[in-house]
Structure 1
Amino acid sequence: MQVAVENKRSLSKKKGFLFWVIALVILLAATSVVAIAIGSTYIEPGEVYKVLLSKLTNGAIFSDVSTVMNQNIIWEIRFPRVLLGAICGAGLAICGVLMQCVTKNPIAEPYILGISSGASCGAVAVLVLGGIFGIHSLQTGAFLGSILSGVLVFAIGTQMGKTSSTTRLVLSGMAISTIFAALTNLLIYSAKNSNQAKTALFWTIGSLGGAKWDVLLFPFIILILVMIIAIIMSKSLDILLLGDDSAIILGINVKLIKTVILILATLLTSALVAITGAIGFIGLVVPHICRTICGSDHKKLIVLSSLIGSIFLIGSDIAARGLFPPIEIPIGIITSLVGGPFFLYLISKKNYSFGGKE
């Protein structure tokens, strides 16, 4: 009798999770179409749908649709931006899940290791001092800066993998972040003209304006790789929440698991920040939203976080472009204004805890 009850509960949970996945996929598709439709030139959602199907099927479906101008706006400008928003939102949310698990800290987020500060420093250095990598100098500078920050934090915070102390890791991240932030401010202060300073400041707050087809492949590959590895390691991540001592007793190689997760999170965050700048609150808020739905099961957390993170960032981009047209607000401002109050609401709920529902 007890086994039958447990099986029934398990089936109910699976159905509930599947319902959320289907509902979020539909919502993501709808949000994406709206994001493509809205802009300085409004395009009917039905027209957006037809153009996308035509392009994706190479004209097999809806071969003669819309004007050439609208097709170019949809396919060359807005669709890459939406895809970048989806990739970045999913990636930051997943990194938030991973960092909160590794540090066992409910306020951990992707930038806790100073990666955003390193990326900002590298990008601003290119903007102010000039780059040597051609049209991709900005992204290259940001990526190298973020990787340098991650390597320094890992080397100092874990003593080259010899210790798994999360306190030492977080403190090292705070110190490195402060140093890179100071260097960034110094570079902005030394900018030769106001345009350089304004561009640098805009980049540090975050934007999807740099979306182009040729910059999407690398972060997409990294995102898929991290998702696959994280899902494979999900049981180990569940056990890590019990504490390092308990995880070791249960046969988990804590140092190895943490090292792999830190490397994956650093690589993914670096790839994203190098293109979009530092977009805050997604990696902090989205994992907590997902925990109210599925608890602390990391396999489910990773899937739901990727979907909700994508929807959240695409929706924020709609607001950033639509509030004061034709002026575009840095998207980091929108995510903070929306995410901050929502996060306060979550932590004010009496039945909420870091591991999910009590």
Structure 2
Amino acid sequence: MSAVLDRPAVATGRSTRPSRTGYAVILLLSSAALLVSIAAAVSFGSVRIPIGDVWAIVAHRLAPGTFESWWTEARAAIVIDSRLPRSLTAAVVGASLALAGGVAQAVTRNPLADPYLLGVSSGAGFGVVMVMTLGIGAGALGAFTVPAAAFVGALIPLFLALAIGGRYPQSTAIVLVGVAVGSVFTALITLTLLVFADERSLSGVLHWLAGGFGDARWSTLVFPVLALVGVGMLVSITAPRMDLLKTGDDGAAVLGMNVRRFRMMQLMAISLLAGAAVSVSGGIGFVGLLVPHLAGYVVGTRAVRLLPLAALFGAIALVGADTLARSITQSTEVPVGVITALVGAPIFVFMLYRRYAREI
């Protein structure tokens, strides 16, 4: 998983991993930080709404009549219909990408693996290009048209990578096929935009590819939530077996694991999870790559502990990135993918430096 970047134990032999109580406290504090970050994100904007009012509006909507309202209907609409679904979508996508990244790094034993390992992002982008540029299926599903096209597009490279690379016992075969297929879809996106796109469709596609949550609605939040819950349940059941892969494929097989079947199942699950996230957010990098390493610094590399914390960290990170993206300038909204790249790349390079500087 994140073993390459994992912090070693101190010289006295005392483990840096927290106890069970300490781990529970970390999860509790992280959950509280996530709630505060969502409330702050909903509060912030062109119309500033006090955080206390945000909590009151949400509580009033969940339990009407519990107390008398003092806010205007306009503010309630801003919170409930616009900012809250956007912030929750950012949290769900961040958790999904971080969880998928942690699982990908575990099952491939590659610390540089991320959720887009099998060309999911490129396939999703191609699906969006088909709708926005060529008009294939445009408007067929209403507000769900673009997310559905992105999800179907994400499944195509996944299927090809598993069908071709899955025939070989080495996990690197699936990864390499995924990279190749992803490159083909990236080339198809570029070719389609150059040949068929007009100014309007080109702007829309490029904005989607850069990643963001400007189109987030309650209706588009349903599918990523279902994917996160479903894969989360799978991960909670199979996480202890992921640690067996640290002994190598042969070692895991001796311990009774069908390594090939287990890896295929996990790769399919994380690709579906990433596809569902990408379908509503566009391409957002570095969350799935970086966040599992950060979680590994805190609780170690055991999948049972790392993956839940990575999901919480990912949610917090992407809510913060989205808030920053819409607050840098008043005239336009910066794509969230730009923020995650500008912030994540230097952090990741610094982590690599800290890890390998000790070995020089």
Shared fold (TM-score greater than 0.5)? yes
Closer, same or farther: CA 93–192 of 1 in aligned 2, 3 Å:
closer
Q: Does residue 1:111 correspond to 2:116, yes or no?
A: yes
Q: In structure 2, what is the Cα distance between the partners aligned to 1:204 and 1:11?
A: 38
1:156 aligns with 2:164: yes
**CA-to-aligned-CA distance 1:193-233 (integer Å, 9 cap, x gap):** 21211111111111111211111112111101111111111
Q: Which residue of 2 aligns with 1:292?
A: 297
Given the alignment of the two structures, is residue 24 of structure 1 paired with residue 44 of structure 2, yes or no? no
Distance 2:90 2:183 in 1: 28
Q: Please tell me whether residue 144 in structure 1 is matched to residue 149 in structure 2.
A: no
Name the SS of the counterpart of 1:322 in structure 2. coil
Q: Distance in 2 between the 1:10 and 1:176 partners?
A: 41
Matched residue count: 342
1:47-85 superposed Cα distances (whole Å, 9 cap, x missing partner): 11111111122342x341411111001000000001101
Q: What does residue 85 of structure 2 align with?
A: 80
C-alpha deviations, 1:122-169, integer Å up to 9, x for none? Answer: 00111001142242221111111101111111111112xxx3312211
Q: Which residue of 1 aligns with 2:60?
A: 54
SS in 2 for 1:89: helix
Query: Is 1:221–2:229 an aligned residue pair?
Result: no
Percent of matched pairs sharing the same residue: 34
Deviation of 1:10 (Å) = 12
Shift of 1:326: 3.7
- Whether the 8 Å contact between 2:17 and 2:300 is mirrored in structure 1 is no
Distance 1:64 1:352, change over 3 A: farther
Q: Which residue does 1:330 correspond to in 2? A: 335
- Alignment counterpart, residue 341 of structure 1, candidates 336, 346, 356: 346
**Alignment partner of 1:91 is 2:96:** yes
Q: Are the counterparts in 2 of residues 50 and 65 from structure 1 also a CA contact under 8 Å?
A: no
Listed as ranges, the matches of 1:261-272 within 5 Å are 261-272=266-277
Gaps of 5+ in 1: 1-7, 354-358
Q: CA deviation at 1:177?
A: 0.6
- Note the alpha carbon deviations across 1:292-326, whole angstroms, 9 max, x for none: 11111111111101100000000000110001124
Structure 2 residue identity aligned to 1:16:
G
Identify the match of residue 132 of structure 2 among 105, 127, 131: 127
SS at match of 1:110: coil
- Alignment-derived partner of residue 323 in structure 2: 318
Q: Secondary structure at the match of 1:349?
A: helix
Relative contact order, higher structure (CA 8 A, sep 6+): 2
Q: What CA RMSD, in Å, does the superposition of the two structures yield over aligned residues?
A: 1.9
SS of the residue 2:350 aligns to: helix
Compared CA separation, residues 46 and 349, structure 1 to 2 (3 A): same
**Structure 2 gaps, min length 5:** 1-13
> In the alignment, does 2:43 pair up with 1:42?
no
- Give me the TM-score of the superposition, normalised by structure 1: 0.92
Separation in 1 of the partners of 2:75 and 2:109?
48
The separation in 2 between residues aligned to 1:146 and 1:67, in whole angstroms, is 42
Match of 2:192 in 1: 187
Please report how far the alpha carbon of residue 45 of structure 1 lies from its aligned counterpart in structure 2 after TM superposition: 1.3
